[in-house]
Amino acid sequence: MMKAAGLDAHYANHDSALFYHNAAGVPWTASYIAAKGDPIADIYEDIAAEEKARATYQWIINLSDDPDLNDGLRYLREREIIHSQRFREAAEILKDEQGKKRFF
């Protein structure tokens, strides 16, 4: 069954353990998480991640003919759009506040 499903190589290397990788089989690495320590740069990184996820959900929808699966994927795609919009709003707030002196 594993071989028929195309999972024989995964099974041979990892049994049934989780092993995170993308659709092309490239393993996940912590280097995918980019942080500069600059709030504006970091939030734009977050926006990019949300947009990449949105695009991926759309491409999966394009490949699928299962209406129930597509409903769930559409929900996830819309969630990514909302996240992106909120991050964009936060970026504007950060830019407006940048350089202002704070008195405590």
Identify whether residues 11 and 51 lie together within a single domain: no
pTM: 0.70
What count of residues does the chain have?
A: 104
Do 40 and 28 lie in one domain? The reply is no
Q: What is the pLDDT of residues 51-73, one digit of tens each?
A: 999 999 999 999 999 999 999 99
Residues 40 and 84 in one domain: yes
Q: Using a CB cutoff of 8 Å and minimum separation of 24, what contacts does 89-95 make?
A: 90/43, 91/40, 91/43, 91/44, 91/47, 94/39, 94/40, 94/43, 95/40
Q: Are residues 68 and 102 in the same domain?
A: yes
Condensed to tens digits (0 to 9), the pLDDT of residues 81-102 reads 999 999 999 999 999 988 888 7
Query: Are 40 and 29 members of one domain?
Result: no
Number of separate domains in the chain? 2
Domain that holds residue 64: 35-104
Check whether residue 43 and residue 82 sit in a common domain: yes
* Residue whose entry in the numeric block shows the structure tokens 């490949």: 63
